[in-house]
């Protein structure tokens, strides 16, 4: 799911309780990944990120989810580029 080069989002369970549990675990995973990313981010880049977050109405987590969706969209477009119509 977090592979931006792969257009596939993965399999989704049918059971709503399973979806909730997976969503919770993915949220924890995303939070850990964001924390690791921020730890490795150079100070000038961190300052730019903070400025972007402060100037928008989106949370840091929301921004990362938005970027993930955009990356998946790009990967999907690239995957279909060579298909015949």
Quote the CA–CA distance of 80 and 57 in Å, as a whole number: 33
Give the count of domains, the chain: 1
- In the DSSP assignment, the letter for residue 15 is S
Residue 21's domain comprises 16-80
- Is 4 a domain residue? no
- Is 40 a domain residue? yes
Cβ atoms 49, 41 nearer than 8 A:
yes
- Is 71 a domain residue? yes
- Is 2 a domain residue? no
- Is 73 a domain residue? yes
For the whole model, what pTM was predicted? 0.58
- Is 26 a domain residue? yes
- Is 5 a domain residue? no
Summarize pLDDT for 9-45 with one digit per residue, the tens: 677 778 889 888 988 988 898 888 888 888 988 999 9
């Amino acid at each position: 799911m977090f592979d931006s080069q792969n257009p596939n989002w993965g399999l989704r369970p049918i059971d709503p309780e399973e979806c909730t549990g997976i969503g919770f675990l993915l949220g924890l995973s995303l939070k850990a990944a964001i924390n690791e990313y921020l730890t490795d981010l150079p100070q000038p880049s961190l300052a730019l990120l903070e400025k972007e977050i402060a100037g928008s109405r989106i949370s840091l987590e929301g921004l990362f989810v938005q970027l993930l969706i955009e990356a998946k969209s790009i990967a999907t477009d690239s995957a279909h580029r060579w298909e015949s119509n």
